[in-house]
Structure 1
Amino acid sequence: MSNFEALTYDVDNSIAIITMNRPEVRNSLNKQMRSELMAAFKQAREDSQVRVILLAGAGKGFCAGADLSEITPGSDKDGFITDLIRREYNPLIKTINDTPKPVISVVNGAAAGIGGTLAMACDLMIMSEDAFLYSAFGAISLIPDGGSHKFLQSYLGPKKAYEMIAFSQRLPAEQCEKVGLANRVVASENLLSDALEWAKTLAEQAPMTLSLSKEILQATATEDLDFCLEKEAVLQNTAYRSQDFKEGAKAFFEKRKPEFKGL
Protein backbone atom coordinates (compact mmCIF):
# COMPACT_ATOMS: atom_id res chain seq x y z
CA MET A 1 0.00 0.00 0.00
CA SER A 2 2.29 2.79 1.25
CA ASN A 3 5.81 3.39 -0.02
CA PHE A 4 7.88 2.38 3.00
CA GLU A 5 11.29 0.73 2.66
CA ALA A 6 12.31 -0.30 6.19
CA LEU A 7 8.86 -1.61 7.05
CA THR A 8 5.66 -2.83 5.46
CA TYR A 9 2.23 -1.34 6.05
CA ASP A 10 -1.02 -3.14 5.28
CA VAL A 11 -4.64 -2.73 6.31
CA ASP A 12 -6.88 -5.77 6.57
CA ASN A 13 -10.32 -5.96 8.24
CA SER A 14 -9.84 -2.61 10.02
CA ILE A 15 -6.42 -3.74 11.26
CA ALA A 16 -3.27 -1.83 10.36
CA ILE A 17 -0.30 -4.20 10.30
CA ILE A 18 3.05 -2.43 10.69
CA THR A 19 5.94 -4.85 10.21
CA MET A 20 9.54 -3.81 10.79
CA ASN A 21 11.28 -5.26 7.76
CA ARG A 22 15.05 -5.44 8.17
CA PRO A 23 15.30 -9.15 8.99
CA GLU A 24 18.97 -9.32 7.94
CA VAL A 25 19.82 -7.23 11.03
CA ARG A 26 17.00 -8.54 13.23
CA ASN A 27 15.01 -5.34 12.56
CA SER A 28 17.45 -3.09 14.40
CA LEU A 29 16.35 0.53 14.30
CA ASN A 30 18.24 2.86 12.01
CA LYS A 31 17.26 6.44 11.24
CA GLN A 32 15.09 5.41 8.30
CA MET A 33 13.11 2.87 10.30
CA ARG A 34 12.56 5.30 13.16
CA SER A 35 11.24 7.88 10.71
CA GLU A 36 9.03 5.38 8.89
CA LEU A 37 7.60 3.98 12.14
CA MET A 38 6.55 7.50 13.13
CA ALA A 39 4.92 8.01 9.74
CA ALA A 40 3.20 4.60 9.79
CA PHE A 41 1.70 5.12 13.24
CA LYS A 42 0.46 8.58 12.28
CA GLN A 43 -1.08 7.14 9.13
CA ALA A 44 -2.85 4.41 11.08
CA ARG A 45 -4.03 6.90 13.68
CA GLU A 46 -5.56 9.21 11.08
CA ASP A 47 -7.17 6.45 8.98
CA SER A 48 -10.83 6.25 9.99
CA GLN A 49 -11.00 2.69 8.63
CA VAL A 50 -8.36 1.47 11.10
CA ARG A 51 -9.51 0.37 14.54
CA VAL A 52 -6.56 -1.72 15.74
CA ILE A 53 -2.82 -1.48 15.06
CA LEU A 54 -0.40 -4.41 15.08
CA LEU A 55 3.36 -3.90 15.42
CA ALA A 56 5.42 -6.90 14.32
CA GLY A 57 8.91 -7.82 13.15
CA ALA A 58 9.86 -9.76 10.04
CA GLY A 59 12.17 -12.76 10.20
CA LYS A 60 13.51 -14.42 13.33
CA GLY A 61 13.25 -11.54 15.77
CA PHE A 62 10.96 -8.66 16.73
CA CYS A 63 13.67 -5.99 17.06
CA ALA A 64 17.30 -6.18 18.14
CA GLY A 65 17.33 -2.57 19.37
CA ALA A 66 19.21 0.38 17.93
CA ASP A 67 21.41 -0.20 14.90
CA LEU A 68 24.84 0.32 16.47
CA SER A 69 26.57 -0.06 13.11
CA GLU A 70 24.94 3.10 11.77
CA ILE A 71 27.36 6.00 11.42
CA THR A 72 25.73 9.28 12.43
CA PRO A 73 27.43 12.65 11.90
CA GLY A 74 28.21 14.47 15.14
CA SER A 75 28.17 11.34 17.31
CA ASP A 76 31.49 12.37 18.88
CA LYS A 77 30.01 15.56 20.33
CA ASP A 78 28.96 15.81 23.97
CA GLY A 79 25.17 15.69 24.29
CA PHE A 80 24.71 14.00 20.91
CA ILE A 81 22.90 10.96 22.30
CA THR A 82 20.62 13.06 24.53
CA ASP A 83 19.55 15.11 21.52
CA LEU A 84 19.03 11.99 19.40
CA ILE A 85 16.88 10.32 22.05
CA ARG A 86 14.80 13.45 22.55
CA ARG A 87 14.39 14.05 18.81
CA GLU A 88 13.76 10.52 17.47
CA TYR A 89 13.30 7.82 20.09
CA ASN A 90 11.12 9.52 22.70
CA PRO A 91 8.63 10.93 20.16
CA LEU A 92 8.23 7.42 18.70
CA ILE A 93 7.43 5.90 22.09
CA LYS A 94 5.04 8.78 22.83
CA THR A 95 3.33 8.36 19.45
CA ILE A 96 2.63 4.69 20.20
CA ASN A 97 1.57 5.45 23.76
CA ASP A 98 -0.68 8.38 22.81
CA THR A 99 -2.41 6.75 19.85
CA PRO A 100 -6.10 6.51 20.89
CA LYS A 101 -6.50 3.24 19.01
CA PRO A 102 -5.35 -0.02 20.67
CA VAL A 103 -1.88 -1.16 19.65
CA ILE A 104 -0.78 -4.79 19.91
CA SER A 105 2.89 -5.80 19.83
CA VAL A 106 3.41 -9.17 18.14
CA VAL A 107 6.72 -10.40 19.56
CA ASN A 108 8.75 -13.19 18.02
CA GLY A 109 12.30 -13.98 19.01
CA ALA A 110 14.21 -11.19 20.69
CA ALA A 111 12.80 -7.80 21.65
CA ALA A 112 16.07 -6.28 22.81
CA GLY A 113 17.04 -2.81 23.98
CA ILE A 114 14.76 -0.19 22.47
CA GLY A 115 13.00 -3.06 20.71
CA GLY A 116 11.78 -4.26 24.08
CA THR A 117 10.61 -0.74 24.86
CA LEU A 118 8.63 -0.61 21.62
CA ALA A 119 6.92 -3.86 22.60
CA MET A 120 6.15 -2.63 26.12
CA ALA A 121 4.84 0.73 24.90
CA CYS A 122 1.97 -1.00 23.14
CA ASP A 123 -1.34 -1.53 24.94
CA LEU A 124 -1.39 -5.30 24.50
CA MET A 125 1.28 -7.90 23.80
CA ILE A 126 1.17 -11.36 22.27
CA MET A 127 4.39 -13.39 22.24
CA SER A 128 5.60 -16.61 20.69
CA GLU A 129 6.78 -19.31 23.07
CA ASP A 130 10.42 -18.66 22.17
CA ALA A 131 10.20 -14.87 22.42
CA PHE A 132 11.87 -12.81 25.14
CA LEU A 133 12.54 -9.26 26.27
CA TYR A 134 16.24 -8.53 26.65
CA SER A 135 17.72 -5.64 28.61
CA ALA A 136 20.95 -5.55 26.63
CA PHE A 137 22.21 -2.13 27.69
CA GLY A 138 24.39 -3.19 30.61
CA ALA A 139 26.38 -5.51 28.35
CA ILE A 140 27.69 -2.46 26.49
CA SER A 141 27.78 -0.10 29.49
CA LEU A 142 24.69 1.91 28.63
CA ILE A 143 21.37 2.36 30.41
CA PRO A 144 17.87 1.54 29.11
CA ASP A 145 16.05 4.48 27.55
CA GLY A 146 12.77 5.22 25.82
CA GLY A 147 10.90 4.84 29.12
CA SER A 148 12.20 1.34 29.85
CA HIS A 149 12.84 2.04 33.52
CA LYS A 150 9.20 3.03 34.03
CA PHE A 151 7.80 0.13 32.04
CA LEU A 152 9.95 -2.49 33.77
CA GLN A 153 9.42 -1.07 37.24
CA SER A 154 5.64 -0.97 36.72
CA TYR A 155 5.50 -4.72 36.10
CA LEU A 156 8.52 -6.16 37.89
CA GLY A 157 8.90 -3.78 40.83
CA PRO A 158 12.07 -1.75 41.44
CA LYS A 159 14.25 -4.59 42.72
CA LYS A 160 13.54 -7.06 39.92
CA ALA A 161 13.73 -4.29 37.34
CA TYR A 162 17.13 -3.26 38.66
CA GLU A 163 18.32 -6.86 38.62
CA MET A 164 17.24 -7.29 35.00
CA ILE A 165 19.07 -4.10 34.01
CA ALA A 166 22.19 -4.72 36.10
CA PHE A 167 22.76 -8.25 34.80
CA SER A 168 21.49 -7.67 31.23
CA GLN A 169 18.91 -10.40 31.74
CA ARG A 170 16.38 -11.92 29.40
CA LEU A 171 12.73 -12.15 30.40
CA PRO A 172 11.19 -15.13 28.58
CA ALA A 173 7.64 -15.07 27.22
CA GLU A 174 6.28 -17.31 29.98
CA GLN A 175 7.59 -14.92 32.64
CA CYS A 176 6.31 -11.89 30.72
CA GLU A 177 2.83 -13.38 30.79
CA LYS A 178 3.14 -14.25 34.47
CA VAL A 179 3.96 -10.68 35.53
CA GLY A 180 1.42 -9.08 33.18
CA LEU A 181 3.79 -7.71 30.56
CA ALA A 182 2.32 -10.05 27.95
CA ASN A 183 -1.34 -10.93 27.53
CA ARG A 184 -0.88 -14.15 25.59
CA VAL A 185 1.83 -16.65 24.71
CA VAL A 186 1.22 -18.86 21.69
CA ALA A 187 3.04 -21.40 19.55
CA SER A 188 5.64 -19.77 17.31
CA GLU A 189 4.09 -21.07 14.11
CA ASN A 190 0.70 -19.59 15.08
CA LEU A 191 1.89 -16.17 16.27
CA LEU A 192 0.75 -13.99 13.39
CA SER A 193 -2.50 -15.86 12.71
CA ASP A 194 -3.44 -15.82 16.40
CA ALA A 195 -2.51 -12.13 16.63
CA LEU A 196 -4.68 -11.29 13.63
CA GLU A 197 -7.61 -13.26 15.00
CA TRP A 198 -7.28 -11.53 18.36
CA ALA A 199 -7.01 -8.13 16.67
CA LYS A 200 -10.07 -8.89 14.55
CA THR A 201 -12.09 -9.59 17.71
CA LEU A 202 -10.73 -6.42 19.33
CA ALA A 203 -11.69 -4.38 16.25
CA GLU A 204 -15.30 -5.46 16.75
CA GLN A 205 -15.43 -3.87 20.21
CA ALA A 206 -16.72 -0.35 20.83
CA PRO A 207 -14.00 2.08 19.62
CA MET A 208 -15.04 4.74 22.13
CA THR A 209 -14.68 2.33 25.04
CA LEU A 210 -11.24 1.30 23.79
CA SER A 211 -9.95 4.85 23.39
CA LEU A 212 -11.48 6.41 26.50
CA SER A 213 -10.45 3.57 28.81
CA LYS A 214 -6.93 3.71 27.37
CA GLU A 215 -6.85 7.41 28.21
CA ILE A 216 -8.12 6.82 31.76
CA LEU A 217 -5.70 3.97 32.48
CA GLN A 218 -2.76 6.11 31.40
CA ALA A 219 -3.93 9.23 33.24
CA THR A 220 -4.65 7.43 36.52
CA ALA A 221 -1.51 5.28 36.62
CA THR A 222 0.14 7.64 39.13
CA GLU A 223 -2.95 9.33 40.57
CA ASP A 224 -5.24 8.59 43.51
CA LEU A 225 -8.78 7.18 43.50
CA ASP A 226 -10.43 10.62 43.61
CA PHE A 227 -8.69 11.60 40.37
CA CYS A 228 -9.82 8.37 38.73
CA LEU A 229 -13.42 8.79 39.87
CA GLU A 230 -13.60 12.31 38.42
CA LYS A 231 -11.85 11.33 35.17
CA GLU A 232 -14.32 8.48 34.65
CA ALA A 233 -17.29 10.72 35.40
CA VAL A 234 -16.22 13.32 32.84
CA LEU A 235 -15.33 10.92 30.04
CA GLN A 236 -18.41 8.77 30.64
CA ASN A 237 -20.43 11.71 29.35
CA THR A 238 -18.58 11.50 26.03
CA ALA A 239 -19.44 7.82 25.75
CA TYR A 240 -23.01 8.32 26.98
CA ARG A 241 -23.79 10.90 24.30
CA SER A 242 -22.31 8.84 21.46
CA GLN A 243 -24.18 7.11 18.65
CA ASP A 244 -22.35 3.91 19.54
CA PHE A 245 -23.94 3.87 23.00
CA LYS A 246 -27.39 4.22 21.47
CA GLU A 247 -26.58 1.40 19.05
CA GLY A 248 -25.13 -0.77 21.83
CA ALA A 249 -28.17 -0.30 24.08
CA LYS A 250 -30.55 -0.97 21.19
CA ALA A 251 -28.67 -4.11 20.17
CA PHE A 252 -28.70 -5.31 23.79
CA PHE A 253 -32.48 -5.18 23.99
CA GLU A 254 -32.86 -6.61 20.50
CA LYS A 255 -30.51 -9.46 21.44
CA ARG A 256 -28.17 -8.94 18.48
CA LYS A 257 -24.54 -8.03 17.90
CA PRO A 258 -24.01 -4.23 17.83
CA GLU A 259 -22.46 -2.50 14.84
CA PHE A 260 -20.14 0.14 16.27
CA LYS A 261 -18.89 3.01 14.11
CA GLY A 262 -16.75 4.96 16.55
CA LEU A 263 -19.21 7.88 16.56
Structure 2
Amino acid sequence: MEYKHLSIENRNDLLIVLLNRPEAHNALNVRIRDELESVFSESKKDPNVKGLLLGANGKNFCSGYDLEEVIETKLESFKHRILEYHYAIYSYPKPIVCVLKGFCSAGGFDLALCGDYILAEKKTFLFRPEIRFGGPPLITTLARKVGPTKALSITLLGDPIRSAEALELGIIDEVVTEGDPIQKGLKVLEKMSQWDPKLISAEKEISNNFFQGNLYENLRKEFDLFKQFLEDPNFFQKVSEYAKSIQQKV
Protein backbone atom coordinates (compact mmCIF):
# COMPACT_ATOMS: atom_id res chain seq x y z
CA MET A 1 0.00 0.00 0.00
CA GLU A 2 1.15 3.53 -0.75
CA TYR A 3 1.03 5.50 2.48
CA LYS A 4 -0.54 8.93 2.12
CA HIS A 5 -1.21 9.77 5.76
CA LEU A 6 1.66 7.98 7.52
CA SER A 7 5.36 8.75 7.72
CA ILE A 8 7.35 5.51 8.07
CA GLU A 9 11.02 4.87 8.82
CA ASN A 10 12.86 1.71 9.81
CA ARG A 11 15.67 2.73 12.13
CA ASN A 12 17.89 -0.15 13.24
CA ASP A 13 14.98 -2.62 12.96
CA LEU A 14 12.66 -0.35 14.94
CA LEU A 15 9.74 0.86 12.84
CA ILE A 16 8.80 4.51 13.43
CA VAL A 17 5.23 5.20 12.31
CA LEU A 18 4.02 8.81 12.53
CA LEU A 19 0.45 9.90 11.83
CA ASN A 20 0.78 12.52 9.12
CA ARG A 21 -2.46 14.50 8.76
CA PRO A 22 -1.43 17.46 10.91
CA GLU A 23 -3.74 19.83 9.03
CA ALA A 24 -6.66 17.72 10.33
CA HIS A 25 -5.20 17.11 13.81
CA ASN A 26 -4.38 13.58 12.55
CA ALA A 27 -8.06 12.69 12.52
CA LEU A 28 -8.72 9.04 11.68
CA ASN A 29 -10.41 8.94 8.32
CA VAL A 30 -10.93 5.63 6.51
CA ARG A 31 -7.67 5.98 4.56
CA ILE A 32 -5.41 6.47 7.57
CA ARG A 33 -7.05 3.59 9.46
CA ASP A 34 -6.54 1.31 6.45
CA GLU A 35 -2.92 2.42 6.30
CA LEU A 36 -2.42 1.70 10.00
CA GLU A 37 -4.04 -1.70 9.67
CA SER A 38 -1.75 -2.44 6.73
CA VAL A 39 1.44 -1.33 8.52
CA PHE A 40 0.64 -3.37 11.62
CA SER A 41 -0.41 -6.43 9.64
CA GLU A 42 2.62 -6.39 7.34
CA SER A 43 5.32 -5.46 9.82
CA LYS A 44 4.37 -8.20 12.28
CA LYS A 45 5.62 -10.67 9.64
CA ASP A 46 8.78 -8.71 8.80
CA PRO A 47 11.94 -10.16 10.41
CA ASN A 48 13.58 -6.76 9.99
CA VAL A 49 11.10 -5.18 12.38
CA LYS A 50 11.65 -5.90 16.07
CA GLY A 51 9.23 -3.31 17.45
CA LEU A 52 7.07 -0.34 16.48
CA LEU A 53 6.96 3.25 17.72
CA LEU A 54 3.73 5.12 17.03
CA GLY A 55 3.72 8.90 17.17
CA ALA A 56 2.48 11.87 15.16
CA ASN A 57 3.57 14.89 13.15
CA GLY A 58 2.06 18.24 14.06
CA LYS A 59 0.86 19.55 17.40
CA ASN A 60 -1.61 16.77 18.24
CA PHE A 61 -1.37 13.01 18.40
CA CYS A 62 -4.90 12.38 17.16
CA SER A 63 -8.29 14.07 17.54
CA GLY A 64 -10.23 10.86 16.94
CA TYR A 65 -12.35 9.72 14.02
CA ASP A 66 -12.79 12.24 11.22
CA LEU A 67 -16.28 13.51 12.05
CA GLU A 68 -16.58 15.42 8.78
CA GLU A 69 -16.14 12.12 6.93
CA VAL A 70 -18.48 10.37 9.38
CA ILE A 71 -21.24 12.86 8.55
CA GLU A 72 -20.54 12.81 4.81
CA THR A 73 -20.80 9.01 4.76
CA LYS A 74 -23.85 8.99 7.07
CA LEU A 75 -21.95 7.02 9.73
CA GLU A 76 -20.57 4.42 7.31
CA SER A 77 -16.97 5.42 8.04
CA PHE A 78 -17.60 4.60 11.72
CA LYS A 79 -18.31 1.02 10.71
CA HIS A 80 -15.50 0.57 8.18
CA ARG A 81 -13.41 -2.49 9.15
CA ILE A 82 -13.96 -1.55 12.77
CA LEU A 83 -13.12 -4.98 14.16
CA GLU A 84 -10.27 -5.75 11.76
CA TYR A 85 -8.59 -2.39 12.35
CA HIS A 86 -8.73 -2.55 16.13
CA TYR A 87 -7.68 -6.18 16.34
CA ALA A 88 -4.69 -5.54 14.06
CA ILE A 89 -3.28 -2.87 16.37
CA TYR A 90 -4.09 -4.50 19.73
CA SER A 91 -2.98 -8.02 18.80
CA TYR A 92 0.39 -6.91 17.37
CA PRO A 93 2.90 -9.53 18.56
CA LYS A 94 5.87 -7.19 18.87
CA PRO A 95 6.52 -4.38 21.38
CA ILE A 96 4.73 -1.09 20.72
CA VAL A 97 5.70 2.25 22.22
CA CYS A 98 3.30 5.18 21.74
CA VAL A 99 4.41 8.80 22.04
CA LEU A 100 1.56 11.23 22.68
CA LYS A 101 1.22 15.00 22.50
CA GLY A 102 -1.51 17.61 22.37
CA PHE A 103 -5.00 16.19 21.86
CA CYS A 104 -5.45 12.45 22.23
CA SER A 105 -9.18 12.14 21.89
CA ALA A 106 -11.86 9.48 21.23
CA GLY A 107 -10.52 7.11 18.55
CA GLY A 108 -7.11 8.72 19.06
CA PHE A 109 -7.28 7.73 22.74
CA ASP A 110 -8.13 4.17 21.69
CA LEU A 111 -5.28 4.14 19.17
CA ALA A 112 -2.82 5.24 21.86
CA LEU A 113 -3.95 2.36 24.05
CA CYS A 114 -2.36 -0.14 21.68
CA GLY A 115 0.96 0.83 23.26
CA ASP A 116 2.72 -1.60 25.57
CA TYR A 117 4.48 1.47 26.91
CA ILE A 118 2.97 4.93 26.51
CA LEU A 119 4.86 8.19 26.88
CA ALA A 120 3.16 11.58 26.81
CA GLU A 121 4.39 15.13 26.70
CA LYS A 122 3.52 17.23 29.74
CA LYS A 123 0.76 19.21 28.02
CA THR A 124 -0.97 16.17 26.52
CA PHE A 125 -4.54 15.50 27.45
CA LEU A 126 -6.63 12.43 26.81
CA PHE A 127 -10.37 12.61 26.29
CA ARG A 128 -13.26 10.21 25.69
CA PRO A 129 -16.05 12.53 24.47
CA GLU A 130 -18.17 9.94 22.66
CA ILE A 131 -20.55 9.48 25.56
CA ARG A 132 -21.44 13.18 25.31
CA PHE A 133 -23.16 12.61 21.97
CA GLY A 134 -24.59 9.18 22.71
CA GLY A 135 -21.73 7.19 21.27
CA PRO A 136 -20.30 4.15 23.06
CA PRO A 137 -16.62 4.56 24.06
CA LEU A 138 -14.66 1.32 24.00
CA ILE A 139 -14.22 -0.38 27.36
CA THR A 140 -12.06 -3.27 26.12
CA THR A 141 -9.21 -0.99 25.07
CA LEU A 142 -8.99 0.97 28.31
CA ALA A 143 -9.65 -2.09 30.50
CA ARG A 144 -6.48 -3.64 29.12
CA LYS A 145 -4.60 -0.84 30.88
CA VAL A 146 -6.51 -0.05 34.06
CA GLY A 147 -9.04 -2.88 34.55
CA PRO A 148 -12.77 -2.91 33.71
CA THR A 149 -14.16 -1.08 36.75
CA LYS A 150 -11.71 1.81 36.52
CA ALA A 151 -12.24 1.94 32.73
CA LEU A 152 -15.97 2.25 33.35
CA SER A 153 -15.67 5.10 35.87
CA ILE A 154 -13.28 7.04 33.60
CA THR A 155 -15.67 6.55 30.68
CA LEU A 156 -18.82 7.57 32.54
CA LEU A 157 -17.19 10.69 33.98
CA GLY A 158 -16.29 11.79 30.45
CA ASP A 159 -13.72 14.33 31.63
CA PRO A 160 -10.48 15.33 29.89
CA ILE A 161 -7.45 13.77 31.58
CA ARG A 162 -4.14 15.61 31.77
CA SER A 163 -0.96 13.60 31.35
CA ALA A 164 -0.04 13.77 35.05
CA GLU A 165 -3.43 12.34 36.02
CA ALA A 166 -3.22 9.73 33.26
CA LEU A 167 0.09 8.63 34.77
CA GLU A 168 -1.48 8.29 38.23
CA LEU A 169 -4.36 6.28 36.79
CA GLY A 170 -1.98 3.92 35.00
CA ILE A 171 -3.24 4.87 31.53
CA ILE A 172 0.21 6.03 30.47
CA ASP A 173 3.63 4.95 31.71
CA GLU A 174 5.75 8.10 31.58
CA VAL A 175 5.44 11.87 31.25
CA VAL A 176 8.26 13.40 29.21
CA THR A 177 9.20 16.83 30.56
CA GLU A 178 12.47 17.38 28.71
CA GLY A 179 14.34 16.07 25.71
CA ASP A 180 12.98 14.56 22.50
CA PRO A 181 10.00 12.28 23.28
CA ILE A 182 10.56 10.23 20.11
CA GLN A 183 14.18 9.53 21.08
CA LYS A 184 13.09 8.57 24.59
CA GLY A 185 10.44 6.32 23.10
CA LEU A 186 13.01 4.64 20.85
CA LYS A 187 15.25 3.90 23.84
CA VAL A 188 12.33 2.23 25.61
CA LEU A 189 11.41 0.31 22.47
CA GLU A 190 15.00 -0.84 21.96
CA LYS A 191 15.04 -2.24 25.48
CA MET A 192 11.67 -3.96 25.13
CA SER A 193 12.57 -5.44 21.74
CA GLN A 194 15.91 -7.02 22.70
CA TRP A 195 14.43 -10.36 23.79
CA ASP A 196 13.59 -13.50 21.82
CA PRO A 197 10.73 -12.52 19.43
CA LYS A 198 8.85 -15.77 20.14
CA LEU A 199 9.06 -15.09 23.86
CA ILE A 200 7.78 -11.52 23.41
CA SER A 201 4.91 -12.78 21.27
CA ALA A 202 4.00 -15.39 23.87
CA GLU A 203 4.04 -12.81 26.66
CA LYS A 204 1.76 -10.51 24.68
CA GLU A 205 -0.55 -13.43 23.94
CA ILE A 206 -0.82 -14.14 27.65
CA SER A 207 -1.42 -10.49 28.51
CA ASN A 208 -4.10 -10.09 25.82
CA ASN A 209 -6.06 -13.28 26.29
CA PHE A 210 -5.53 -14.99 29.65
CA PHE A 211 -7.00 -12.54 32.16
CA GLN A 212 -10.00 -10.68 30.73
CA GLY A 213 -11.16 -13.11 28.09
CA ASN A 214 -10.11 -13.41 24.47
CA LEU A 215 -9.17 -10.06 22.90
CA TYR A 216 -10.78 -10.77 19.54
CA GLU A 217 -14.03 -12.00 21.08
CA ASN A 218 -14.18 -9.09 23.51
CA LEU A 219 -13.82 -6.59 20.67
CA ARG A 220 -16.33 -8.45 18.48
CA LYS A 221 -18.94 -8.57 21.25
CA GLU A 222 -18.41 -4.91 22.08
CA PHE A 223 -18.82 -3.81 18.46
CA ASP A 224 -21.91 -6.03 18.10
CA LEU A 225 -23.39 -4.26 21.11
CA PHE A 226 -22.55 -0.88 19.58
CA LYS A 227 -24.77 -1.55 16.56
CA GLN A 228 -27.91 -0.59 18.48
CA PHE A 229 -26.51 2.89 19.11
CA LEU A 230 -25.29 3.43 15.55
CA GLU A 231 -28.68 2.33 14.21
CA ASP A 232 -30.60 4.74 16.44
CA PRO A 233 -32.18 7.30 14.05
CA ASN A 234 -31.30 10.10 16.48
CA PHE A 235 -27.61 9.20 16.62
CA PHE A 236 -26.67 10.81 13.30
CA GLN A 237 -28.22 14.10 14.41
CA LYS A 238 -26.34 13.97 17.73
CA VAL A 239 -23.02 13.37 15.99
CA SER A 240 -23.71 16.21 13.53
CA GLU A 241 -24.49 18.64 16.35
CA TYR A 242 -21.38 17.60 18.25
CA ALA A 243 -19.21 18.03 15.15
CA LYS A 244 -20.58 21.56 14.64
CA SER A 245 -19.84 22.46 18.25
CA ILE A 246 -16.26 21.25 17.89
CA GLN A 247 -15.74 23.24 14.68
CA GLN A 248 -16.94 26.41 16.40
CA LYS A 249 -14.30 25.97 19.13
CA VAL A 250 -11.41 25.35 16.73
Structure 1 residue aligned with 2:39: 40
Q: Which runs of 4 or more aligned residues in structure 1 lie more than 4 Å from their structure 2 counterparts after TM superposition?
A: 71-74, 153-160
User: What is the correspondence of 1:221-236 to structure 2 with a 5 Å cutoff?
Assistant: 221-222=211-212
Percent sequence identity is 25
> Quick one: which of 141, 162, 182 aligns to 1:172?
162
Could you tell me how far 1:173 is from its partner in structure 2? 1.6
Higher mean C-alpha deviation, range 20-29 or range 125-134: 125-134
CA deviations over 1:65-108 (Å, ceiling 9, x no partner): 01111266652xxxx55xx5554232111001122111121111
Q: 1:158 to 1:197 in 2, by over 3 A?
A: closer
For residues 152 and 200 of structure 1, the distance between their equivalents in structure 2, rounded to whole angstroms, comes to: 25
Instruction: Report whether the alignment pairs 1:127 with 2:117.
Output: no
Q: C-alpha separation between the residues in 1 aligned to 2:146 and 2:128?
A: 13
Deviation at 1:22, TM superposition (A): 0.5
| 1:171-199 per-position Cα deviation (integer Å, ceiling 9, x unaligned) | 22222222222122112652111011211
1:121 match: secondary structure: coil
RMSD of aligned C-alpha atoms? 2.3
Is residue 212 of structure 1 aligned with residue 212 of structure 2? no
Q: Is the 8 A contact 1:65 1:115 kept in 2?
A: yes
Contact map agreement 1:101 1:210 (CA 8 A) in 2: yes
**TM-score of the superposed pair, with normalisation by structure 2:** 0.76
Pair 1:108-2:98 in alignment: no
Select between 170-179 and 94-103 the one with higher mean Cα deviation: 170-179
Aligned to 2:24: 25
Residue type of the alignment partner of 1:125: I
Q: Report the AA paired with residue 135 of structure 2.
A: L
Aligned residues: 213
User: Conserved in 2, the CA contact under 8 Å of 1:9 and 1:40?
Assistant: no
> Shift of the alpha carbon at 1:119?
0.8
Query: 166-175 or 49-58, which moves further after superposition?
Result: 166-175
Q: Distance between the aligned counterparts of 2:181 and 2:131, measured in 1? A: 30
Partner Cα distance (2:122, 2:73) in 1: 41
Q: Assess if the C-alpha contact under 8 Å between 2:110 and 2:142 holds in 1.
A: no
Taking a change above 3 Å as real, the CA distance of residues 138 and 73 of structure 1, as seen in their structure-2 partners, is closer
Q: Structure 1: state its 5+ residue gaps.
A: 224-263
- Structure with greater contact order relative to length (CA < 8 Å, sep ≥ 6): 2
1:51–1:113 Cα change, 3 Å: same
Give the deviation of 1:120 after TM superposition.
0.9
Deviation at 1:160, TM superposition (A): 4.8
What per-residue deviation string (whole Å, max 9, x for no partner) do you get for residues 228-257 of structure 1? xxxxxxxxxxxxxxxxxxxxxxxxxxxxxx
Contact 2:146 2:170 survives alignment (8 Å): no
CA distance in 1, matches of 2:179, 2:136: 33
Distance 1:159 1:53 in 2: 29
Task: Rate the CA distance shift 1:195–1:152 in 2: closer, same or farther, 3 A.
Answer: same
CA distance in 2, matches of 1:137, 1:71: 13
Instruction: Check whether the contact 2:94–2:193 (CA below 8 A) recurs between aligned residues.
Output: no
Unpaired runs of 5+ in structure 2?
A: 214-250
Q: Match for residue 97 of structure 1?
A: 90
AA at the equivalent of 2:64: G
User: CA shift at 1:166, angstroms?
Assistant: 3.5
Q: Are residues 96 and 141 of structure 1, via their aligned partners in 2, closer, same or farther at CA, if it must alter by over 3 Å?
A: same
In the TM superposition, 1:1-263 aligns within 5 A as 3-70=2-69, 75=74, 81=76, 84-144=77-137, 148-153=138-143, 155-156=145-146, 160-187=150-177, 189-222=179-212
Distance 1:187 1:17 in 2: 21
Alpha-carbon spacing, 1:158–1:42, altered in 2? closer, same or farther (3 Å): closer
TM-score of the pair, normalised by structure 1: 0.73
Question: Displacement, 1:14?
Answer: 1.0
Question: Structure 2 vs 1, CA of residues 60 and 123 (structure 1 numbering), >3 Å: closer, same or farther?
Answer: same
